[in-house]
Amino acid sequence: MEYWAGELGNNYIEGIQHGNVMDSVYNFLKSEEPKIKYPYENLFLDNGAFSIFKNNYNKKKNEVQINLDNIIDIQEKLKPQYTIPFDYPLDPQMNIKNMEQNWQKTVKNIDYWTNCTNLNLIPALHGWNKTSLNKNLHLLQKKDFDYIALGSAFILKEKFKGFFGDRQPNKNIYEAFLYLSSLGKKLGIDIHVFGLGASPLTYHFAAFCEIKSSDSSGYRRKAAYGKIILPQTAERYAGNGSATFGLKTKNGITYNKIFSKDEKIKLAECKCPECRKITKHGYRRWKHLCSDWKIRAIHNKWVMEQEEKISQECIKQGWEIYEHFINKMMEKSSLKNLWEFIKSTKERYF
């Protein structure tokens, strides 16, 4: 699985070397001369649809006008490796008729982009149940696409909360991944998933579902909220702000209360660019990470890139090896039940 690390337009962090990058047209809508200002190897450019509709839905700012030709102009100027025709995501509060209408508008835009650009396109797939996902994926196959991006996929839940659903770990979303991944393999289509892979656990789950690629700005978001990512586990607190995420005690937050013995060793052995600046001492490295959110972001991104490498090596050796690796990782995790669901569900689909 390829891992697409999120980056946000001009709000970039000095010192981060980017391989695969996800950025959004939304970040360049007001730019007279759109230009990526950070170093990267491969650019995956989102079309900005989710951010535009979210902005207009919340009505907290001036409504963003949709100009398809302007979006295409930005995409063509930035010359991404992959980009997405403007799509119309599904709101869980819509009725089926409105969802179908949004999908038809998305298909119309896919045809428009195909006919008027030479961009390397990855269309967004939306569906409101298994039947529609199957039908819509077959439609994209007939249009000669072999790589698509999963947008809205509502399979099990009858009611949804939040704007256009989410990518939080739950049985519904991972069944959707497994269903589409297995169907995609039969049709010769690879699947990209938006907004997934903010932690080692969710990244490995998606990779085990045989998702081709994902993107996430979670490494930045966690850093901004005072969290660091540790290998093969979730995040831990290392912030310099007032937010403590439930870690306050009568005696305050301490290094010994936050980290287990094994986690202290992981931190002491970390080889990220920032931790390497400090001697191999977990507490000193923790204090360094507490000092600045950008330092935490550099650490978090490096950890996720190592998880990507581990995933790729395991998959090369075979899915049984990868399953064994995740089994060990999940022994003490609160997501163990979800992992057991993913394994049993994969046996049904593959």
Q: What are phi and psi of 304, to 5 degrees?
A: -65, -35
Assess contact for 50 and 194: CB atoms under 8 A.
yes
- Mean of the per-residue pLDDT values for the chain? 88
Per-residue model confidence as pLDDT tens digits over 62-89: 777 899 999 999 999 999 999 999 999 9
Region 9-36 average pLDDT? 85
In this predicted structure, the answer to whether residue 171 has a pLDDT above a threshold of 60 is: yes
Regarding beta strands 2-6 and 20-24, do their DSSP bridges make them parallel or antiparallel, or are they unpaired? Answer: parallel
Confidence at 166, pLDDT banded by 50, 70, 90: very low
Assess contact for 47 and 122: CB atoms under 8 A.
no
Q: What is the distance, to the nearest Å, from the Cα of residue 298 to the centroid of all Cα atoms in its chain?
A: 17
Q: What are phi and psi of 137, to 5 degrees?
A: -70, -40
Q: How many other CB atoms are there within 10 angstroms of residue 249's CB atom? A: 10
* pTM (2 d.p.): 0.89
Q: How many other CB atoms are there within 10 angstroms of residue 144's CB atom? A: 7
What pLDDT was estimated at residue 16? 78
Q: Which of 149-153, 200-204, 278-282, 288-292 has the lowest mean pLDDT?
A: 149-153
What domains, with CATH codes, occur in the chain?
Answer: 2-216 (3.20.20.105), 226-302 (no CATH)
Round to whole Å and give the CA distance between 64 and 70. 12
Q: What is the distance, to the nearest Å, from the Cα of residue 84 to the centroid of all Cα atoms in its chain?
A: 15
